[in-house]
Amino acid sequence: MSATHTTPRPAATTTPVSRMTALARAELTLLGRTRGALFAALFVPLVMPVSVRAASEDMDLAGAGLSTGTLVLPAAVGFSLLFAVYSVLVGAFVVRREELVLKRLRTGELRDVEILAGTSLPAVLTGLAQCLLLVVGCAVLMDLSAPSAPHLVVLGLLLGLVMSAALAAATASFTRTGESAQVTPMPLLMVSMIGSGMFAPLELFPDRVASVLELLPLTPVITLVRGGWTGDLSAYEALGALATAMAWILIAVFAVRRWFRWEPRR
């Protein structure tokens, strides 16, 4: 062994972007190698919209100003966020913590937020690609016209991606092991599928119940995507959805700052 250098090199300084890119690249390789997680992430969001479509046949959608397409399309986005982003990232954060990878990364130049963002990036990009695919697929297959307010669709999608990653980190704060990471995402998955307007639009719920369901994390995302497509969303409603989504992101960030653990409990 010799400690002398053989290659001259420039004193390249890392930047947040270069560091996160390096981390995200490794994380993408890892995502490709975890078959179970990859399968769930890629296929569940493709299959679930079909069951939503089946369920919608018994509903009075027209009475709520909706069609099968404007129910299924936002639901598909929701499934993608929940399965390809949120669940995958809860597992990724917990497993990296158990492997002491997070601790290792914290000994280096990466800042804490860069570690979380870099780890999230591959799942977020997967989710984004999947959402775009699903949106185009639904629109084509179910004869939807172009969205009336595309900016609201984009806003909903971006808020949804950021929120899913932030909530995943927050959930990981309360998840001790890789095994429990199979279970801890369940509550949000269930609550969102039932209560956030994915299987049934909130318009079909009693008003009082609906006004509570509006406050669930994924509801504003679904509302913005659907409203952006139908054009039925008032500016007031859109702002309300934006505020709710931002509130959940802030709650998740607070929880992560307060409770996120970088190494396993001993």
Partner 1 sequence: METNGHEHVIEVTDLRRVYGGGFEAVRGISFSVRRGEIFALLGTNGAGKTSTVELLEGLARPAGGRVRVLGHDPYADRAAVRPRTGVMLQEGGFPSELTVAETARMWAGCVSGARPPAEVLALVGLEAKAGTRVKQLSGGQRRRLDLALALLGDPEVLFLDEPSTGLDAEGRRATWELVSALRDGGTTVLLTTHYLEEAENLADRLAIMHEGRIATTGTPAEVTAAEPSRISFELPDGYFVGDLPPLGELGVTGHETDGRIVRLRTHELQRSATGLLMWAAQARVELRRLDVRSASLEEAFLGIAKDASGQQAMGMTTKEYAA
Taking the least distance from each CB to partner 1, the nearer of 7 and 145 is: 7
Q: Can you tell me the distance from the alpha carbon of 201 to that of 222, in angstroms, rounded to the nearest whole number?
A: 9
Taking the least distance from each CB to partner 1, the nearer of 19 and 226 is: 19
Least distance from partner 1 to the Cβ atom of residue 257, Å: 15
Question: Residue ranges of the alpha helices (H) in the chain?
Answer: 16-33, 35-56, 68-79, 88-98, 101-106, 112-141, 150-173, 186-195, 207-213, 219-230, 235-259
Least distance from partner 1 to the Cβ atom of residue 103, Å: 6
Q: Hey, what amino acid is at 244?
A: T
Taking the least distance from each CB to partner 1, the nearer of 31 and 242 is: 31
Residue 194 neighbours by CB distance under 10 Å: 13
Q: Can you tell me the distance from the alpha carbon of 73 to that of 136, in angstroms, rounded to the nearest whole number?
A: 9
Kindly state the greatest CA–CA separation across the chain.
Answer: 78
What's the helix, strand, coil split of the chain in %, to 5? 75, 0, 25
Least distance from partner 1 to the Cβ atom of residue 139, Å: 37
Least distance from partner 1 to the Cβ atom of residue 35, Å: 11
Contact residues for partner 1, defined by CB under 8 A: 1-7, 9-14, 18-19, 21-23, 25-26, 29-30, 33-34, 96, 99-101, 103-111
Burial (Cβ within 10 Å: 0-12, 13-18, ≥19) of residue 11: exposed
Type and span of the H or E element at 190:
helix 186-195
Taking the least distance from each CB to partner 1, the nearer of 26 and 59 is: 26
Q: Hey, what amino acid is at 139?
A: A
Residue reference for tokens 């959940």: 248
Determine the Cα angle at 176 with ends 42 and 193, to 5°.
Answer: 40
Q: Hey, what amino acid is at 153?
A: V
Least distance from partner 1 to the Cβ atom of residue 183, Å: 22
Structure tokens, 79: 């499934």
Taking the least distance from each CB to partner 1, the nearer of 6 and 234 is: 6
Least distance from partner 1 to the Cβ atom of residue 122, Å: 13
Taking the least distance from each CB to partner 1, the nearer of 107 and 145 is: 107
Taking the least distance from each CB to partner 1, the nearer of 13 and 145 is: 13
Least distance from partner 1 to the Cβ atom of residue 18, Å: 6
